[in-house]
Amino acid sequence: MDQTSLRYFIENSDIRIKKLDAEEIIFDLVGAEPPLANALRRILIAEIPTMAIEKVEMWQNTSIIPDENLAHRMGLIPIAADPRLFEFHSSTAKPYDATNSLRFKLHIECTRKNPGGPRVEIKDAHDEERHYNNASVYSGDLEWVPIGDQRERFAAEGIAEPKPLHDDILIAKLRPGQEIEMELVCEKGIGRTHAKWSPVCTAYYRNLPDIRFTGAPIVNEEAEELKRVCPMGVFDIEDLGKKGKKAVIKDGGIACTTCRECIRDERFAKRVDLGKHKEEFEFHVETVGIYTPDDLVIEALAKLKEKAVFWYDQVSKEGLNC
């Protein structure tokens, strides 16, 4: 069978999930070439949409943070809202409405808890909380302001109210008399436009290692030495009873980082073959938290399929063989 055909790819490709929790997914992508693996990585980073703060209407800012720095900090706060419920705000001339945006407000003023009392020396955060109100401004202080029928629609569909993903992100420090008041507009966007829309903390892959012994087995004292020199614990010892000990590769050599420590020794340089599986990749994808890790991969694969169908249609229109 032609190895470049679509049927060959379908029959020989696979995804094997090795780890999945609330924050990270690790999986093996088997039977794919490097351009496809890299396309999946780039889509995960730059083309899965999220909601992020795009417009800041600053009404009052007497903190020590300049307006532009404060606005930038607000934009980097991840927003817990499903972007699939919203449209892209396509034009600056188009107004913000319930279908393409979310609105939040923030109004915080720092005051003394004992206005008439003596001034105190503030040494740490515990003193701040004991003597001041609102000395620290956190992401949890943002208040959602529904646009149009958003509150009713979200309630009817069982959708949680939009809010910052984490309530304890520090925005600013205030002192008595300082105040921050602003209104914030969230838009749907992608990481290719700005990193604040990227749904992943990290997304990377590596070729799976292909480690083999060549020539005579490595036994006894040499086996012990080979195990010792590898910092990643790739090699182990198999007890052969009266025949002694033999070096073996543990778990297929998955822990290997190709540091080459094992082949720096002349005794092992020609007896250990360090290679890579050219069409097997280990992916690590860590989510910001807006999507679950498995949803991220599903969305990326759907986007990759959409791109493949589009370019297939374009090539077909030009009368070329695919």
Q: Which residue has the tokens 């990749």?
A: 281
pLDDT at 4 over 70: no
- Structural domains of the chain sorted by starting position, each given as residue range(s) with its CATH number in brackets: 6-47+201-316 (3.30.1360.10), 51-196 (2.170.120.12)
Dump pLDDT digits (tens) for 76-125. Answer: 999 999 999 999 998 776 789 999 999 999 999 999 988 877 777 777 76
Model confidence at 3, in pLDDT bands (50, 70, 90)?
low
Average pLDDT over residues 27-36: 92
Average pLDDT over residues 16-34: 94
Name 82's Cβ contacts closer than 8 Å, sequence gap at least 6: 159
Q: Give the whole-angstrom CA distance, residue 117 versus residue 205.
A: 60
pLDDT at 63 over 70: yes
Average pLDDT over residues 27-40: 93
pLDDT at 146 over 90: yes
Which of 59-68, 82-91, 292-301 has the weakest average pLDDT?
82-91
Average pLDDT over residues 254-261: 91
Q: Give the whole-angstrom CA distance, residue 198 versus residue 43.
A: 10
pLDDT at 315 over 90: no
The answer to whether 100 and 55 are in contact (CB under 8 A) is: no
Amino acid 119: pLDDT: 73
Half-sphere exposure of 157 (CA within 13 A, CB side): 11
pLDDT at 322 over 60: no
Sheet strands side by side (includes 50-61): 50-61, 179-189, 101-109, 143-144
* Higher pLDDT pick, 315 / 279: 279
pLDDT at 224 over 70: yes
Q: Give the whole-angstrom CA distance, residue 22 versus residue 205.
A: 19
Q: Which residue has the tokens 């980082």?
A: 257
Residue 286 phi, psi dihedral angles, 5° rounding: -115, 125
Amino acid 130: pLDDT: 84
The answer to whether 54 and 264 are in contact (CB under 8 A) is: no
Residue 301 phi, psi dihedral angles, 5° rounding: -65, -40
Q: Give the whole-angstrom CA distance, residue 217 versus residue 214.
A: 8
Nearest-CA neighbor of 240 among 262, 218, 225?
Answer: 218
Which of 90-99, 138-147, 285-294 has the weakest average pLDDT?
90-99
Q: Directed axis angle between helix 293-317 and helix 34-46, to 10°?
A: 120
Q: Give the whole-angstrom CA distance, residue 311 versus residue 303.
A: 13
Average pLDDT over residues 257-280: 90
Residue 53's region, left for phi above 0, alpha for psi from -120 to 50, else beta, is beta
Amino acid 68: pLDDT: 96
- When the pLDDT of each residue in the chain is averaged and rounded to a whole number, the result is 90
Amino acid 181: pLDDT: 97
Model confidence at 310, in pLDDT bands (50, 70, 90)?
confident
The answer to whether 177 and 155 are in contact (CB under 8 A) is: no
pLDDT at 128 over 70: yes
Q: Give the whole-angstrom CA distance, residue 4 versus residue 279.
A: 13
